[in-house]
Each structure stands twice: as structure tokens, then as C-alpha cells.
Amino acid sequence: MSNDIQNLKTEISNEITAANDLKTLDDVRVTVLGKKGRITALMKTLGKMDAEERKTKGQALNVLKNEIADLIKTQESALKKQEMDTRLASETLDISLSPRQQDKGHIHPISQTIEELTAIFADMGFSVAEGPDIEDDFYNFTALNFPPGHPAREMQDTFFLPDDEEAQGEHIKKLLRTHTSSVQIRHMQDNQPPHKIICFGRTYRSDYDMTHTPMFHQMEGLMIDKTTHMGHLKGCLQDFVRAFFELDDLTVQFRPSFFPFVEPGAEMDIACSRKTGGLKIGANKDGSVDSWMEILGCGMVHPNVLKSCGLDPEEYQGFAFGMGIERMAMLKYGIPDLRTFYESDVRWLEHYGFDPLDRPNNATGVKQKRA
Ligand code: DAH
């Protein structure tokens, strides 16, 4: 290797080892190997040399170029390692600490309530079924024993969709379902008994005030087999409200009521008191009850409903129940106005929503929540 190349190599090597951060090292790389770099410039002079000189000089320059590139690489890795060592020495991460409190994002009370309801009924052996929001007249009304023209249809004023080619005729008018009871029919038609399901979903009615919105959520329950009777209905629903409101002795009453798809039909009330100004759920200490609050509708499934699902009412029987999810959430968590559920107000959600890492559940209870 000629002396000038040897000198150049020493010079550049010194520059490389003197570079003590990645930026300086990159600057050296550009001044040496870049388009206008020193080695690149020397390479360009090869063209003007005679063949013999070009061969020897060319080889020597290539060797130099590779050696320099290797030196840069080695220095680069050394600098990167040094950087990482400094970071590791200065940054600490204690993975044994508990997770930090989240300050963004809350679980909506509807989602929270659905999970609580699911957990309670899953413990009793119910599984979750689903059905569509856009129903037809048959599933929403006719199969549930509201024949066309039945006055009870008027109680559930809903949104009908325009008739389309396929949906002509009285029984296949499309509408937004007014209740989740339609899922009972779909489930019974598609599955073999015994049936033991709950179902959640959006339901629609043309109403709007403090306790009604055009869209709200319901939960439906259905249990059918050969021996199910009204005692099961009462026991199941009493256990449910006691678990949901976390009051082991919550008093309930069943009041006769009319729903076309059950016979007998009832509404279940829970004991409460309004004497203190606010609402207190539960009976008084001495067992007396000041007031009752309606919670849900229920009953023994009507023989006509069983027949419309191909079941013989002489062989099968069972019970059904339905409730508004917002209503359950409002009562349990003290939310006064139904309309606020859908205003997407972040302040509301921060107040009434649930911390994803600290949600009440059936094991820990709610009482720790709500400062
Ligand atoms: N579908 C009823 C409503 O929306 C609620 C209901 C009442 C459901 C009685 C039931 C039941 O399953 O048995 O008002």
C-alpha cells in the first residue's frame, strides 16, 4: 500500500475513533464515503490513470474503502451499546408495582350492567342468545300471540320500515323490534328444548321523556322444559334481584299483569322507601314495606307461543321475563335521567362510568364504588 493511502487510512481511522456520538460518526462517514467524500474523490481519479496504475491504485483504494466501512461499523456498534448502557443505568422500571390508575376511558353503565346481569344468570345456568334489531311483524308480534289488529300492539308504538318487494303482506312487515321477546321465538324455532337463555339488545319505541327514549336496551329471559313451573319463575327472579342489588333479604312481590305472550302474566316489584327524600331499595328494618317499585314483566309462556314455535303445550312449559337495562342501571347506580345515557357527555361518563381496572362485580360488590 502506498504511503499516501496508508497516511489517509491513519487519518480517517483517528477521526472515526474520535467520534464519540452517532451523529459525529455519521458526519465522518459522509466526508469519507459520501458522494463527495474523500475516498470517493480518489476513486474518480482512477479513470485518468494508465491501465497498470489504475489496477494497483484501484485495488488499494477498494481495500481502503472496505476497511474504513468496517471501522465505521465497529465504532457504530460500540456507540450504540454505550448509549443503551447509559439508558439502562439511568431508567428504571419496577414491574412488581401495581398498574397505574387509568385517567382516560370509562366503561358505560349499560355495558357494566349487561356484564353483571350476564354473570348472575350464567351462574344459574342460562346462556346468551341473540337476535336482530330489524325484526318482522311475525317475530315481534304475531308469534308472541299479538295477532294482527290486537289492541296490545298499540302499547308498543314503533318504527316501521317501508314495505319492500319481499316484505309485502301483513306478517312480514319490517320494523325495529319493540322488545327482545322476539328472540324467544327465534331461539325456540332454531333449537331443541329444553331452553334456558337470556338475551340483551337494543329495542325501539316512539317515546321521548325523562324515562323513555326512542332506543333503549332490554334483557329477556326464557326457560322451557317439561317440569318448569311458576315456583321456578319466582325463585329465579327473587334470587336474581337479591344478587343484583346485593341485598340478601330484598323483599319482592308479584302483581298480576297482562302481556299477550304469557299466561298468567305478572310484574315483579321490589320493596323500597322514598321516606328519606331519595330512593332506598329494600324493606324497613322491621320487615315492613313502605313502597314498591316495578322492576320487570314476567309470566308462564302462553300455549299459543309454544305452538307457534312447534312445541306441544301439553308436554312443554316454562317462564319468561323481560326488563329494561337502563332502568336497572338507574336504580342500582342512582342515575336520574334516562336521556343522559345517550348524550355522549364525557363528564357524565367520568361520573357514572366505571374504571376498567376497578369495576364492581358480583364477587367484590358495588359498595366500594361511588365516592
Ligand atoms: N316484552 C315486554 C315489554 O317489553 C316485557 C316482558 C314481559 C317480557 C313479560 C317477557 C314477559 O318475557 O314474560 O314490555
Average pLDDT, consecutive stretches of 10 residues, N- to C-terminus, the chain (371 residues): 83 95 95 92 90 90 94 96 92 84 81 96 97 94 89 77 63 86 97 98 89 92 98 98 95 97 98 87 93 97 97 98 96 91 92 86 61 40
Task: For residue 221, give the ligand 1 atom closest to its CA.
Answer: 12
Q: Report the CATH number that the domain containing residue 157 is assigned in CATH.
A: 3.30.930.10
Give yes or no for a contact between 301 and 261, defined as CB atoms under 8 angstroms apart.
Answer: yes
User: Same domain for 116 and 85?
Assistant: no
Q: pLDDT value at position 313?
A: 97
Q: How far is CA 11 from CA 8, 28, 42, in A?
A: 5, 11, 15
Q: pLDDT value at position 39?
A: 92
Q: pLDDT value at position 103?
A: 67
Ligand 1 centroid to Cα of residue 253, in Å, is 17
User: From atom 4 of ligand 1, which residue's Cα is the shortest distance away?
Assistant: 179
Q: Which helix (H) or strand (E) holds 256?
A: strand 252-256
DSSP 7: H
Q: pLDDT value at position 320?
A: 98
Pocket test for ligand 1, best of 139, 176, 181 (most atoms within 8 A of CB): 181
Q: What is the DSSP string of 15-64?
A: HHHH--SHHHHHHHHHHHHSTT-HHHHHHHHGGGS-HHHHHHHHHHHHHH
Any atom of ligand 1 within 6 Å of the Cβ of 259: yes
User: Same domain for 151 and 284?
Assistant: yes
Among 113, 111, 108, 106, residue whose Cα is nearest residue 331: 113
Which of 57, 89, 121 marks a domain boundary?
A: 89
User: Same domain for 168 and 19?
Assistant: no
Q: pLDDT value at position 168?
A: 56
Q: What is the pTM of this model?
A: 0.71
Total domains, the chain:
2
Q: pLDDT value at position 154?
A: 74
Residue 76, domain member (yes or no): yes
Q: pLDDT value at position 284?
A: 92
| Dist. CA 205–CA 215, nearest whole Å | 7
Task: For residue 323, give the ligand 1 atom closest to its CA.
Answer: 5
User: Same domain for 38 and 147?
Assistant: no
Q: What is the DSSP string of 74-127?
A: HHHHHHHHHHHHHHHHH----TTSPPPPP-S--B-HHHHHHHHHHHHHHHTT-E
Any atom of ligand 1 within 6 Å of the Cβ of 201: no
Q: pLDDT value at position 279?
A: 87
Any atom of ligand 1 within 6 Å of the Cβ of 267: no
DSSP 162: P
| Parent domain of 38 | 2-89
User: Same domain for 53 and 200?
Assistant: no
Amino acid at 305: V
